[in-house]
């Protein structure tokens, strides 16, 4: 994790609401040398006022730990922020119109890049054809990734830039997709890449995100992209960046400065692209998806990482893929010892299709579930993409956050941006108001998974919470009244009793306005200040 010199000032924040387990009624906080030095009441804050360099009047604002987004693709996020975004296109015609306008506005781009189309949400349910894209771009190279980034549509001109690739019309998946993506991203210059990375990190900071876990790898970006991002994050103000490199090469991960050979090391693909690996066929396709790694490969990788002192981690979405991960990690534990495997805190990204047996295995093996609640908000429900791909019964079992928590599985929340947007409070809301009521968790538990959970996932138990000695990574919010929200009304009533000492959080009931970030601080230094504040 990137570290920076702390702000030399000692700062007292007062007359607000400080979300801290050290004092559930705290209204003030002192920050010194990049760490939280004290939290407490307004009356006690008077004793610090004359001995600090700066006093910040919060004027009733809420102070929380900064969020950690535990799964991000930073450069792709920046390119989506500054380029062609089709995630809000209501239909195929609108998407093609946006492609035409984008191509006209970028006459000098060697390759046009876009992201976010989702034909499952369009009338007719079909993506653009290559001929339609050739016409819309005037025959120029174009790469358009599907919203899950596991398939893409391209123009003929981009195929011509991809040596040896002969592809039929329609979305490209697996090796063909990786090849065209590599060709497209090779056209991005170092200057464009740095601009995209800065844009993504600045946007994250504006949302109260203090750290991100970059999930890179040879099938996602490039070594230069990864190392450039780590350098930029270390040298410039902004969120901390933890790097993961998804390759079965422990030495390479260490050489590149990664915390682990983990992240999007693909065991399978994605449900939307019909490439997540299932035990039973898709409802809308006569196959079971794509398997990239089997249990033996998982076991070998976990063993190598555990012995090297690095985290291992895998992208696994379908139930068959998750089973392979569990069986592989268990085999590694039999070889190197369960205690060593548990201590390594290996990760599984996404883990959407779980069973009671695989959930129990996660708990047994100490696996962290790095999950994305916004997936359910976007694709869940009786008429959503999950139900289209799997049928209502299987779809209703996806993303079982409550069962994971009950079993003691550590949760770390993220966005998988640009698959879903950076949106921390929206992510907490999506977990607390899951489309399947039995999978809902309290706002407090979801908030913890999106703050402290991300730090724990990288082996730091002393951070992500505002207590003395913790890193001063925090955000200041303009919000309404604070409440305690839980799926069980009895719990909610108990938690609002002052005797419970449970600090409140913003009301995230769907339809209510989400908190607005006024300031984000990382290591005691402000990395975002909202204009006018």
pLDDT (0 to 100) of residue 493: 43
Within 217-310, strands assigned E span: 240-245, 260-261
| Count of residues making up the chain | 533
Q: What are phi and psi of 386, to 5 degrees?
A: -55, -45
* Dist CA 85 CA 428 (whole Å): 24
Model pTM score: 0.91
Q: What percent of the chain has pLDDT over 90?
A: 83
Q: What percent of the chain has pLDDT over 70?
A: 96
Q: With beta carbons less than 8 A apart as the criterion, state whether 491 and 444 touch.
A: no
Instruction: Read off the pLDDT of residues 23-50 as tens digits, 9 standing for 90 and up.
Output: 989 999 999 999 999 999 999 999 999 9
Q: Provide CATH code, domain 190-457.
A: 3.20.20.140
Burial of 360 by CB count in 10 Å (0-12 exposed, 13-18 middle, 19+ buried)? middle
pLDDT (0 to 100) of residue 104: 96
Query: Is 495's pLDDT higher than 70?
Result: no
Pairing of strands 151-154, 172-173: antiparallel
* Dist CA 270 CA 420 (whole Å): 14
Q: With beta carbons less than 8 A apart as the criterion, state whether 98 and 132 touch.
A: no
pLDDT (0 to 100) of residue 144: 95
The HSE-up count of residue 484 (CA atoms within 13 Å, CB side) is: 18
Residues 6+ apart with CB under 8 A from 187: 109, 110, 111, 141
pLDDT (0 to 100) of residue 83: 82
Domain residue ranges in the chain: 11-66+465-479+515-529, 76-185, 190-457
Instruction: Read off the pLDDT of residues 114-134 as tens digits, 9 standing for 90 and up.
Output: 999 999 999 999 999 999 999
Phi-psi region of 166 (alpha: psi -120 to 50; beta: other; left: phi over 0): beta
pLDDT (0 to 100) of residue 181: 86
76-185 under CATH 3.40.190.10, yes or no: no
Pairing of strands 11-14, 28-32: antiparallel
Q: With beta carbons less than 8 A apart as the criterion, state whether 314 and 349 touch.
A: yes
The DSSP secondary structure of 361-416, one letter per residue, reads: HHHHHT-EEEE-HHHHHHH-STTSHHHHHH-HHHHTTSS-HHHHHHTT--EEE--T
User: Could you tell me which of 353, 352, 367, 475 has the C-alpha nearest to residue 419?
Assistant: 352
* Dist CA 202 CA 354 (whole Å): 35
Gyration radius (Cα) of the chain, Å: 23
Mean per-residue pLDDT, 382-405: 97
pLDDT (0 to 100) of residue 496: 46
Q: Which residues pair with 63 in a beta bridge?
A: 18, 476
Query: Is 238's pLDDT higher than 60?
Result: yes
SS3 at position 204: helix
pLDDT band at 305 (very low <50, low <70, confident <90, very high): very high
Q: With beta carbons less than 8 A apart as the criterion, state whether 368 and 68 touch.
A: no
* Dist CA 215 CA 225 (whole Å): 12
Q: What angle do CA 457, 463, 468 make, to 5 degrees?
A: 165
* Dist CA 261 CA 196 (whole Å): 24
Mean per-residue pLDDT, 47-70: 95
* Dist CA 527 CA 407 (whole Å): 37
* Dist CA 332 CA 326 (whole Å): 10
* Dist CA 111 CA 103 (whole Å): 10
Question: Which secondary-structure segment (H or E) carries 28?
Answer: strand 28-32
How many other C-beta atoms can be found within 10 angstroms of the C-beta atom of residue 93?
Answer: 14
pLDDT band at 8 (very low <50, low <70, confident <90, very high): low
Q: What angle do CA 138, 139, 143 make, to 5 degrees?
A: 105
Mean per-residue pLDDT, 311-316: 98
pLDDT (0 to 100) of residue 173: 87
Candidate ranges 105-114, 420-429, 487-496; pick with highest mean pLDDT: 420-429
Q: With beta carbons less than 8 A apart as the criterion, state whether 28 and 39 touch.
A: yes
pLDDT (0 to 100) of residue 319: 98
pLDDT (0 to 100) of residue 148: 86
pLDDT (0 to 100) of residue 492: 43
Average pLDDT, the chain: 93
pLDDT (0 to 100) of residue 500: 54
SS3 at position 197: helix
11-66+465-479+515-529 under CATH 2.30.40.10, yes or no: yes
Query: Is 490's pLDDT higher than 50?
Result: no
pLDDT band at 175 (very low <50, low <70, confident <90, very high): confident
Instruction: Read off the pLDDT of residues 329-378 as tens digits, 9 standing for 90 and up.
Output: 999 999 999 999 999 999 999 999 999 999 999 999 999 999 999 999 99
């Amino acid at each position: 994790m990137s570290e920076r010199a702390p702000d030399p000032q000692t700062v007292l924040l007062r007359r607000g609401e400080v979300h801290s387990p050290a004092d559930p009624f705290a209204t003030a906080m002192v920050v010194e040398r990049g760490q939280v030095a004290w939290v407490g009441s307004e009356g006690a804050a008077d004793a610090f006022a004359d001995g600090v360099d700066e006093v910040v009047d919060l004027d009733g604002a809420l102070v929380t730990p900064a969020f950690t987004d535990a799964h991000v693709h930073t450069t792709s996020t920046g390119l989506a922020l500054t380029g062609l975004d089709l995630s809000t296109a209501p239909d195929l015609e609108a998407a093609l119109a946006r492609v035409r306008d984008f191509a006209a506005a970028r006459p000098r781009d060697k390759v046009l890049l876009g992201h976010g189309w989702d034909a499952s949400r369009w009338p007719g349910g079909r993506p653009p054809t290559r001929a339609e894209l050739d016409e819309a771009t005037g025959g120029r190279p174009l790469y358009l990734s599907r919203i899950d980034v596991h398939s893409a549509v391209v123009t003929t001109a981009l195929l011509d830039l991809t040596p040896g690739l002969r592809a039929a019309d329609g979305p490209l998946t697996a090796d063909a997709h990786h090849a065209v993506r590599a060709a497209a991203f090779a056209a991005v210059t170092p200057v464009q890449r740095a601009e995209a990375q800065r844009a993504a990190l600045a946007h994250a900071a504006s949302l109260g995100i203090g750290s991100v876990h970059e999930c890179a790898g040879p099938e996602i970006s490039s070594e230069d992209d990864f190392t450039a991002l780590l350098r930029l994050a270390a040298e410039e103000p902004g969120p901390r960046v933890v790097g993961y490199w998804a390759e079965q090469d422990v030495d390479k991960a260490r050489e590149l400065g990664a915390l682990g050979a983990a992240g999007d090391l693909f065991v399978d693909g994605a449900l939307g692209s019909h490439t997540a690996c299932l035990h039973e066929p898709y409802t809308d396709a006569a196959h079971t998806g794509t398997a990239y790694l089997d249990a033996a490969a998982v076991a070998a990788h976990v063993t190598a990482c555990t012995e090297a002192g690095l985290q291992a981690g895998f992208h696994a979405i379908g139930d068959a893929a998750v089973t392979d991960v569990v069986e592989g990690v268990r085999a590694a534990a039999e070889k190197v010892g369960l205690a060593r495997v548990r201590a390594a805190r290996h990760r599984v990204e996404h883990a959407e299709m779980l069973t009671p047996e695989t959930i129990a295995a996660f708990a047994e093996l100490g696996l962290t579930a790095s999950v994305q609640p916004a997936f359910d908000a976007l694709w869940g429900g009786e008429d959503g993409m999950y139900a289209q791909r799997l049928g209502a019964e299987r779809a209703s079992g996806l993303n079982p956050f409550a069962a994971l928590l009950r079993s003691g599985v550590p949760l770390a929340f993220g966005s998988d941006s640009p698959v879903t947007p950076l949106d921390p409070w929206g992510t907490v809301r999506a977990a607390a108001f899951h489309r399947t009521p039995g999978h809902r968790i309290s706002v407090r538990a979801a908030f913890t998974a999106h703050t402290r959970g991300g730090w724990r996932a990288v082996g730091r138990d002393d951070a992500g919470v505002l207590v003395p000695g913790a890193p001063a990574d925090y955000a200041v919010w303009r919000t309404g009244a604070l409440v305690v929200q839980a799926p069980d009304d009895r719990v909610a009533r108990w938690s609002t009793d002052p005797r419970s000492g449970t600090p409140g959080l913003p009301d995230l009931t769907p339809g209510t306005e989400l908190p607005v970030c006024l300031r984000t601080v990382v290591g005691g230094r402000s990395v975002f200040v909202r204009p006018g504040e």
